[in-house]
Amino acid sequence: MTSANSSGAAAQNDSSGLASITVLSRIPEFWCDKPRLWFVQTDAILGPQKLSDEAKYNLVVAKLGKEVIQQVSDILLKPLETKKFEALKSRLLQVNEESEIRQFQKLLSEMELGDQKPSQLLRKMKELARDKIPDETLSIMWQGHLPASVRAVLATTDVKNVENLAAIADKIIETSRPQEISEIRANTSSSNDTALILAEIAKLNLRINYLETQKPTFRNRIHNFRRARSRSTSRRRNMSRRTPNSADWLCSYHYRYRNRATKCMEPCAWKKINQEN
């Protein structure tokens, strides 16, 4: 190889190394609480670079902290021959992303407006819903977290699109005086108006839909309970004392304690029954 070619190869390697350093500096540290969004941003940075699978894999590993590294240690110690990046991405999403049930619980009981804009709250709720809840239901739930005055304005508009409603709600909040907003927020928790009731109905509908997916297990439990109850009732009927004049009448001691009874009162058929058995 000539000196010119050697110089060209060295310059190319230096350029490639500088490019990798530049890309690495643009990628943030891994977000354990938002792994899917982190990969969206990372893919947007890596996409135009036309990097190899190995290079993308190494860049992601460089952005993982100690606790995250431990979660994927088996992949790092024995990496695959191909598709390393996709295997690492899949594992990180699997380990760090919340389950659908947990996200469903957060959507039902842990959402609050606080100091954020209505549109910001809506985006968080849509992220938890993951397109599995109709926009109409989600809109009712979202409005249930808004101040009463904002809901009152939204109720008078003909706008149905939830994104457009969020934009209107943002404007209402922005144009309201701080004192009015604080008073509204203070009274929101005790408000029992129609919008809040509808939001609770929407939550109940979501719970019912979830129970529908668990229906076979629920039915089995009901069936087993009824069978056990039927057997218990049957045993009680078979052990009934009937009348004092019947041939199988038992005294109160033997009726209650059976073979553990230490006393007996006439009339009692216990001895006769034992002799027949």
Q: CA angle at residue 104 from 33 to 194, to 5 degrees?
A: 125
Q: What is the mean pLDDT of residues 21-33?
A: 85
The whole-number pLDDT of residue 229 equals 62
84, pLDDT greater than 80: yes
Crossing angle for the helix pair 84-96 and 35-46, to the nearest 10 degrees: 160
Weakest mean pLDDT among 75-79, 97-101, 265-269, 273-277: 97-101
Reported as a single tens digit per residue, the pLDDT across 62-78 is: 999 998 999 899 999 99
3-class state of residue 242 by DSSP: coil
**Spatial CB neighbours of 254, under 8 Å, sequence gap ≥ 6:** 261, 264, 268, 270
252, pLDDT greater than 80: yes
161, pLDDT greater than 80: yes
Q: Are 163 and 125 in contact (CB under 8 A)?
A: no
256's enclosing H/E stretch is helix 252-257
The whole-number pLDDT of residue 60 equals 93
The whole-number pLDDT of residue 10 equals 44
- CA distances to 157, 174, 227 from 167, in Å: 13, 11, 56
Judge residue 89's burial from the number of C-beta atoms within 10 Å of its C-beta, 0-12 exposed, 13-18 middle, 19 or more buried. buried
Judge residue 85's burial from the number of C-beta atoms within 10 Å of its C-beta, 0-12 exposed, 13-18 middle, 19 or more buried. buried
Reported as a single tens digit per residue, the pLDDT across 178-199 is: 445 455 445 444 444 555 565 6
> What is the percent of the chain where pLDDT is above 90?
14
Q: How many CB atoms lie within 10 A of CB 99?
A: 8
Evaluate the CA torsion angle 147, 175, 137, 207 in order and state its sign: negative
3-class state of residue 269 by DSSP: coil
Distance CA 269, CA 244 (A): 10
234, pLDDT greater than 90: no
Reported as a single tens digit per residue, the pLDDT across 85-95 is: 999 999 998 88
Q: What is the mean pLDDT of residues 166-179?
A: 78
The residue with tokens 């050697």 is 6
Mean pLDDT of the chain: 75
The whole-number pLDDT of residue 30 equals 92
The whole-number pLDDT of residue 143 equals 86
- CA distances to 2, 163, 193 from 140, in Å: 73, 13, 13
The whole-number pLDDT of residue 100 equals 62
12, pLDDT greater than 70: no
Reported as a single tens digit per residue, the pLDDT across 97-144 is: 766 667 667 776 677 888 889 998 888 888 877 777 788 888 888 888
Q: Quote the pTM value.
A: 0.41
Q: How many CB atoms lie within 10 A of CB 118?
A: 24
Q: Half-sphere exposure of 147 toward its Cβ, with a 13 Å CA cutoff?
A: 23
